[in-house]
Amino acid sequence: MIELKKELEVLYDVFFEEMHIDKASGLLEGKNKRFATMPYIGSNYLNAKKKILFVGLDIGQDEFYEENRFQTFDERNNSVNGPKLSEKNPHIAGTYGTALYFLKDIYNWSESWDILYSQNQFFKQVLEVYGNLLPNEVLSYVSLINYYKFVTKDRYNRAGAMDRVFLNQTVELDLLVKEINLLNPDILIFQSLTLRNDFLIKQLKDKMELYIGFHPSCFGRYIYKRIPSEYIKHLLEEGKIN
């Protein structure tokens, strides 16, 4: 794990140089944007019998704006896997539930998945009620990175798409491909239909099992996709990239 983090740090050092990002604050030179966070890497990810990598949208909040810096590996791990299952936010609750489905037959978690599958409630609501009956270690077997790497300086409201843009598409996509290849997952899951990128699919589809699904905290007319059975049904039937 230490070696993997060092290799990722090398990737990000090059990225910071190419994008002219201050290495202390994470601020992008001449812009009101901050590099948001290092990736989440589960403590058992490298030893997982099936490694799952999730690609989310953006972090949505300038987590450490008061200290004028970005989120470290340890802080990101704590924000994702630190809270109890009953306290996960909608995004991480959905990430947990998706991982539970894909790992259930490997780690004897079928009964736990059945609890989620049988409930006509959102991932987060199920975890709030049944979290004490579910395995705590699921997220330790997965990793999570963001498609969009920057957040508006001092932003505190996660809602909205204001930071879902590339500032340098070529450099940012190059980083994304390199970190995915370095993390080398068996399963790669993009957590938004907006992330269907033909360039990335061409680069990655022959190397790993690839899915593109709804974001676990989607809303509006697709809010019912937050229900575990509906979310997984779509992911398997329509989200798999052959």
What pLDDT score was predicted for residue 193?
Answer: 95
pLDDT, tens digit, for every residue of 24-74?
999 999 999 999 999 999 999 999 999 999 999 999 899 898 999 999 999
Cα–Cα distance, 118 to 9 (Å, whole number): 42
* Residue range 117-124: mean pLDDT, rounded: 97
Domain boundaries, the chain: 2-241
157 has a pLDDT exceeding 80: no
104 has a pLDDT exceeding 90: yes
| pTM confidence score | 0.96
* Residue range 6-10: mean pLDDT, rounded: 96
Rounded to a whole number of angstroms, the CA Rg of the chain reads 17
* Residue range 146-165: mean pLDDT, rounded: 88
What pLDDT score was predicted for residue 125?
Answer: 97
Q: Indicate the class that CATH gives domain 2-241.
A: alpha beta
What pLDDT score was predicted for residue 242?
Answer: 75
pLDDT, tens digit, for every residue of 42-51?
999 999 999 9
- What residue spans of the chain are helical by DSSP H? 2-19, 73-81, 90-103, 110-117, 123-130, 169-183, 198-204, 228-237
What pLDDT score was predicted for residue 178?
Answer: 96
Q: Residue 223 in 3-state DSSP?
A: helix
136 has a pLDDT exceeding 80: yes
What pLDDT score was predicted for residue 52?
Answer: 98
> How much is the mean pLDDT over the chain?
95
More confident site: 161 or 171: 171
pLDDT-above-90 percentage for the chain: 89
Which residues are registered as beta bridge partners of 33?
A: 152
141 has a pLDDT exceeding 80: yes
Length of the chain: 242
Check: CB of residue 57 under 8 Å from CB of residue 215: yes
Look at residues 239, 31, 65, 225 and name the one whose alpha carbon lies nearest to residue 155: 65
User: If pLDDT is split at 50, 70 and 90, which confidence band does 199 have?
Assistant: confident
What pLDDT score was predicted for residue 91?
Answer: 96
